[in-house]
A and B are shown apart, each in its own frame.
Chain A
Amino acid sequence: MAYVSIADRDHEIEHHDPQTFITKYIWSQDHKVIAIQYGLTAIFVGLIALALSVMMRLQLGFPDSFSFITPESYYQFVTMHGMIMVIYLLTALFLGGFGNYLIPLMCGSRDMVFPYMNMLSYWVYLLSVIILLISFFVPGGATGAGWTLYPPQAIAPGTPGIELGIILMLASLAVFIVAFTMGGLNYVTTVLQARCRGMTLMRLPLSVWGIFMATILGLLAFPALLVSAIMMLLDKTILTSFFMPAMISAGEQLSHTGGSPVLFQHLFWFFGHPEVYIVALPAFGIVSDILSTHARKNIFGYRMMVWAILAIGGLSFIVWAHHMYVSGMNPYFGFFFATTTLIIAVPTALKVYNWVLTLWQGNIHLRVPMLFAIGFIFTFIHGGLTGIFLGNVVVDLPLSDTYFVVAHFHMVMGVSPVLVVFGAIYHWFPKMTGKMYNETLGKWHFWMTFFGTYSIYLPMHYLGFLGVPRRYFSMGTTDFMPESAHTLNTSITISAIFVAVTQLIFLYNMIVSLRSGKKSDPNPWGAATLEWQTPDNPPKHGNWGHHLPEVHRWAYDYSVPGYPDDFIPQNVPASAEAPAGRDHGIHH
């Protein structure tokens, strides 16, 4: 490996100093502005999806009480809620939002390597969101096919939105994938090529590792969604038969010949399972950094954490068919996929152990970001363990397609990443805005969200054990469902509404703190990572003033023995340390 001198590097990054309001805040090529644009758009659509979930819960908790919720609109709410949350909120927020904000700052670069493409990435993403939102207002409405969009029903009569809704949905996904690819190429190339001097891969904070690996997964997995979207679009518009079998609808033969619905499911989940980790890995990384910073202790087992991220990323491509145990695929696949799925539990469990061991012998400051991070560990343990039920092929037989599945993936892919999102927003709010948020409101927000969500999803698992199927508009009288199960549904709905309303505290806190919050210290948490060492707070365009930082140590030098402060920023040279020098190696 040749070492290129630092002077060679800086000019490779194109600089465009913004001149006007428009180029500074709207048509901006600054990764921080783009990150905030991504973040705000994602949160905006996320709020829409939250409102949709409340409507769904109203129907489930109080069936047949609202005239605006028909079976059609219910399935549209379900579908759009799921799709928005998974793709347009979580993927966009973690990678487009936090990825954009953190990668250049944590790597010590001035910006992304291709700033213009980075800017386009946001505008194309916005276009995909607009197409998505338009689909609510076209004749026939948005698609109601469920977020998995399984053919034939996604484009066959009997499903709402088969006129235009599904076409716009697929088009929006295709546009989103273009946006993601433009952003993703940037994230990968920036991490590989634009780190500052001294920032070896193993000195990167875990946030960057998580986002980096998630981006690679996204780049390789999203094509599967693109392939299936294109082929389904053709099945819909020019009546090809990629996925569409010969079928009879309302007594009429359709013109499709023998396509394979199971092929779609293979392609969809080949994307869909890595997608879980596209959301989870950045959350893993960010939570590691929050835990370490607020426990004033290095992350435990850094190398194991990096290896686990790589292992989980690699394994995530060979577990997809665990979503298809009862799909009618060759049942012998079940042996293979159950085994790979349970293997992936091992590196995941190790990450959990290491988080908890990071707290052990720490000096734990329970500030708001830390509350969310620890809340995440709890919900993630819960969601991860229920995943073992569903990954084990025979246990999946009774539980598949029941509320147990809904509860599981909301625990692991809904509540857990969202707690990290909140923790991360509180953690980096002082950096992004230069202001401090209101700690009391932040704590209230945590407690109500944490308890509220658990009171939604813990009972929901038990509806699944009972055998209550998901995606039912109403249960009516079902022989094995006691009256109390309906009451439980009502209580879940009340909790859901409570949690939804609670998020207003968060919005209020953010808006008020942004306008009139206390000015923040540049490094209020005493964090060692580079983004807290910028010359300006919030950092300006170009991030580092005249000189790029140089890194001399890893990202986790907290409470180093013999050193007076309880943290050493990454850019402090070894000679500036206490006289004892760095004799701290491995303790054990």
Chain B
Amino acid sequence: MTITLIFLACIMVTVIGWLLRQTLNTQPWVSNEIDDAVSGKSLDTNSKAVGLATFLAVATSLFGLFISAYTLRMKMPDWNPLAEPDLLWINTGALVLASIAFQWTRGAAVKNNDNSVRIGLAISGALSVLFLGGQLLAWYQLQAVGDTMARNPANAFFYLLTAVHGLHMLGGLWVWARSAIKVWTGAPSEAVRVSVELCTVYWHFLLLVWAILFGMLLST
């Protein structure tokens, strides 16, 4: 649980520290023209970005708790470490490239380069699907050698963590698909700029989570 607590402490410190820098220290009953002029927007950014940031905090809590459960369960005597398939390295490579491709697409979207956005979305999407396919293949390889889920808690955690991470990516791919269809059917890149920016953040987050999960799975 320590790991989750560290995650949460970070989130709480961010939230409370940020609130502190806001107007928390004023005496609100004293009339104040500066306050009267405040727009009522706490962050100088798109509300969707705030929504996404909040969602990523939720996802962080979720993965943090899975990792905590993993480290606690690992200490029990029936734990038998799993030999992860080497294929995971290739999948990781695909995810890194997908993340880079999104970053590149984002650059194109900011410059309103319609063609590059179309190509960028195609590449990043394809790499992501490749990653998911690779993960499924890894499952298949494990099943083939008899490493099923119920066989050992280490196996169960492997399937569970990869599945949750995969679902997390599917959620991102839904937003990706909406944007991709928009630009491929002729919409200008301006129409998907915000989505592409948010997807980029989302994919970097996916990569970060995967890097942590993969590191943990490999090292135990």
Direct A–B contact in the complex, CB atoms closer than 8 angstroms: yes
> Which residues of chain B come closer than 8 Å to A584, judged between CB atoms?
29
User: Chain B CB within 10 Å — which of A240, A258, A552, A582 has the most?
Assistant: A240
Given A201-B42, A263-B69, are A220 and B51 neighbors across the interface (CB < 8 Å)? no
Closest A-chain residue to B38, C-beta based? A200
- Of the stretches A76-84, A226-234, A387-395, the one at the interface is A226-234
Given A6-B39, A230-B160, A234-B156, are A200 and B66 neighbors across the interface (CB < 8 Å)? no
> Which residues of chain B come closer than 8 Å to A241, judged between CB atoms?
78, 150, 153, 156
* Cβ-based interface call for B140 (8 A): no
Check if A193 sits within 8 Å of B73, measured CB to CB: no
Given A3-B37, A192-B50, are A234 and B149 neighbors across the interface (CB < 8 Å)? yes
* Cβ-based interface call for B144 (8 A): no
* Cβ-based interface call for B27 (8 A): yes
* Cβ-based interface call for B28 (8 A): yes
> Which residues of chain A come closer than 8 Å to B88, judged between CB atoms?
none
Q: How far is the CB of A62 from chain B (nearest CB, A)?
A: 44
Check if A259 sits within 8 Å of B69, measured CB to CB: no
Check if B54 sits within 8 Å of A185, measured CB to CB: yes
- The docked-state distance in angstroms from the alpha carbon of A181 to that of B73 is 27
Closest B-chain residue to A204, C-beta based? B28
* Cβ-based interface call for A196 (8 A): yes
> Which residues of chain A come closer than 8 Å to B149, judged between CB atoms?
234, 238, 240
- Of the candidates B36, B44, B65, which one forms a contact with A552 in the assembled complex, judged by CB atoms under 8 Å apart? B36
- The docked-state distance in angstroms from the alpha carbon of A8 to that of B29 is 28
Closest B-chain residue to A552, C-beta based? B36
> Which residues of chain A come closer than 8 Å to B66, judged between CB atoms?
227
- Interface size band for A: 35 or more
Q: How far is the CB of A58 from chain B (nearest CB, A)?
A: 40
Given A219-B61, A223-B58, A317-B8, are A234 and B160 neighbors across the interface (CB < 8 Å)? yes
Check if B153 sits within 8 Å of A257, measured CB to CB: yes
- Of the stretches B18-26, B100-108, B183-191, B195-203, the one at the interface is B18-26
> Which residues of chain A come closer than 8 Å to B23, judged between CB atoms?
200-202
Q: How far is the CB of A150 from chain B (nearest CB, A)?
A: 16
Q: How far is the CB of B45 from chain A (nearest CB, A)?
A: 8
Chain B 49-83 interface residues, beta-carbon cutoff 8 Å to A? 50-51, 54-55, 57-58, 61-62, 65-66, 69, 72-73, 76-78
Check if B150 sits within 8 Å of A201, measured CB to CB: no
- Of the candidates A189, A306, A557, which one forms a contact with B29 in the assembled complex, judged by CB atoms under 8 Å apart? A557
- What 0/1 readout, one digit per residue, does chain A (260-278) give for beta carbons within 8 Å of chain B? 1001001100100000000
Chain A 92-148 interface residues, beta-carbon cutoff 8 Å to B? 107-108, 113-114
Closest B-chain residue to A258, C-beta based? B78
- Of the candidates A9, A226, A227, which one forms a contact with B41 in the assembled complex, judged by CB atoms under 8 Å apart? A9
* Cβ-based interface call for B215 (8 A): no
Q: How far is the CB of B220 from chain A (nearest CB, A)?
A: 16
> Which residues of chain B come closer than 8 Å to A258, judged between CB atoms?
76-78
Check if A582 sits within 8 Å of B31, measured CB to CB: yes
- The docked-state distance in angstroms from the alpha carbon of A379 to that of B28 is 31
* Cβ-based interface call for A239 (8 A): yes
> Which residues of chain A come closer than 8 Å to B50, judged between CB atoms?
188-189, 192-193
Given A227-B66, A259-B153, A556-B29, are A196 and B40 neighbors across the interface (CB < 8 Å)? yes
Q: How far is the CB of B76 from chain A (nearest CB, A)?
A: 5
Check if A193 sits within 8 Å of B1, measured CB to CB: no
> Which residues of chain B come closer than 8 Å to A189, judged between CB atoms?
47, 50-51, 54
Check if A231 sits within 8 Å of B160, measured CB to CB: yes
Given A185-B55, A234-B149, are A317 and B5 neighbors across the interface (CB < 8 Å)? yes
Check if A108 sits within 8 Å of B40, measured CB to CB: yes
* Cβ-based interface call for A585 (8 A): yes
Check if A220 sits within 8 Å of B8, measured CB to CB: yes
- What 0/1 readout, one digit per residue, does chain A (199-218) give for beta carbons within 8 Å of chain B? 11111000000000000100
- Of the candidates A3, A186, A194, A227, which one forms a contact with B69 in the assembled complex, judged by CB atoms under 8 Å apart? A227
* Cβ-based interface call for A425 (8 A): no
Chain A 1-49 interface residues, beta-carbon cutoff 8 Å to B? 1-6, 8-9, 12
- Of the stretches B9-17, B123-131, B173-181, B205-213, the one at the interface is B9-17
Given A216-B15, A257-B153, A317-B5, are A303 and B69 neighbors across the interface (CB < 8 Å)? no
Chain A 347-406 interface residues, beta-carbon cutoff 8 Å to B? none
Closest A-chain residue to B20, C-beta based? A310
Closest A-chain residue to B55, C-beta based? A185
* Cβ-based interface call for A318 (8 A): yes
Given A201-B24, A231-B160, A270-B1, are A314 and B44 neighbors across the interface (CB < 8 Å)? no
Check if B58 sits within 8 Å of A199, measured CB to CB: no
* Cβ-based interface call for B30 (8 A): yes
Check if B40 sits within 8 Å of A198, measured CB to CB: yes
> Which residues of chain A come closer than 8 Å to B76, judged between CB atoms?
258-260
* Cβ-based interface call for A298 (8 A): yes
Check if A193 sits within 8 Å of B47, measured CB to CB: yes
> Which residues of chain B come closer than 8 Å to A12, judged between CB atoms?
46-47
Given A185-B54, A195-B41, are A553 and B31 neighbors across the interface (CB < 8 Å)? yes
- Of the candidates B11, B22, B78, B152, which one forms a contact with A220 in the assembled complex, judged by CB atoms under 8 Å apart? B11
Check if B58 sits within 8 Å of A202, measured CB to CB: no
Given A201-B22, A258-B77, A267-B69, are A226 and B62 neighbors across the interface (CB < 8 Å)? yes
Check if A200 sits within 8 Å of B150, measured CB to CB: no
Check if B29 sits within 8 Å of A554, measured CB to CB: yes
- The docked-state distance in angstroms from the alpha carbon of A223 to that of B60 is 9
Closest B-chain residue to A307, C-beta based? B24
Closest B-chain residue to A573, C-beta based? B36
Check if B43 sits within 8 Å of A192, measured CB to CB: yes
* Cβ-based interface call for A197 (8 A): yes
Closest A-chain residue to B153, C-beta based? A241
> Which residues of chain B come closer than 8 Å to A227, judged between CB atoms?
62, 65-66, 69
> Which residues of chain A come closer than 8 Å to B8, judged between CB atoms?
220, 317
* Cβ-based interface call for A574 (8 A): yes
- The docked-state distance in angstroms from the alpha carbon of A458 to that of B46 is 52
> Which residues of chain B come closer than 8 Å to A224, judged between CB atoms?
4, 61, 65
Closest A-chain residue to B163, C-beta based? A230
Q: How far is the CB of A465 from chain B (nearest CB, A)?
A: 33
Given A314-B16, A582-B30, A585-B30, are A9 and B40 neighbors across the interface (CB < 8 Å)? yes
User: Chain B CB within 10 Å — which of A221, A314, A556 has the most?
Assistant: A314
**Cβ-closest 4 pairs across A and B:** A195-B40, A223-B62, A554-B28, A258-B78
The chain A residues found within 8 Å of chain B, CB to CB, are 1-6, 8-9, 12, 107-108, 113-114, 181, 184-186, 188-189, 192-203, 216, 219-221, 223-224, 226-227, 230-231, 234, 238-242, 246, 255, 257-260, 263, 266-267, 270, 298, 302-303, 306, 310, 314, 317-318, 550-554, 556-557, 573-574, 582, 584-586
What 7 additional pairs, Cβ within 8 angstroms, besides A195-B42, A201-B22, A314-B12? A185-B54, A194-B41, A202-B24, A226-B62, A257-B78, A258-B78, A586-B27
Interchain Cβ contacts under 8 Å between A and B, 19 examples: A1-B22, A6-B40, A9-B40, A113-B47, A184-B54, A189-B51, A192-B41, A192-B43, A193-B42, A201-B42, A203-B35, A219-B58, A220-B8, A246-B78, A263-B72, A310-B16, A317-B5, A550-B36, A553-B29
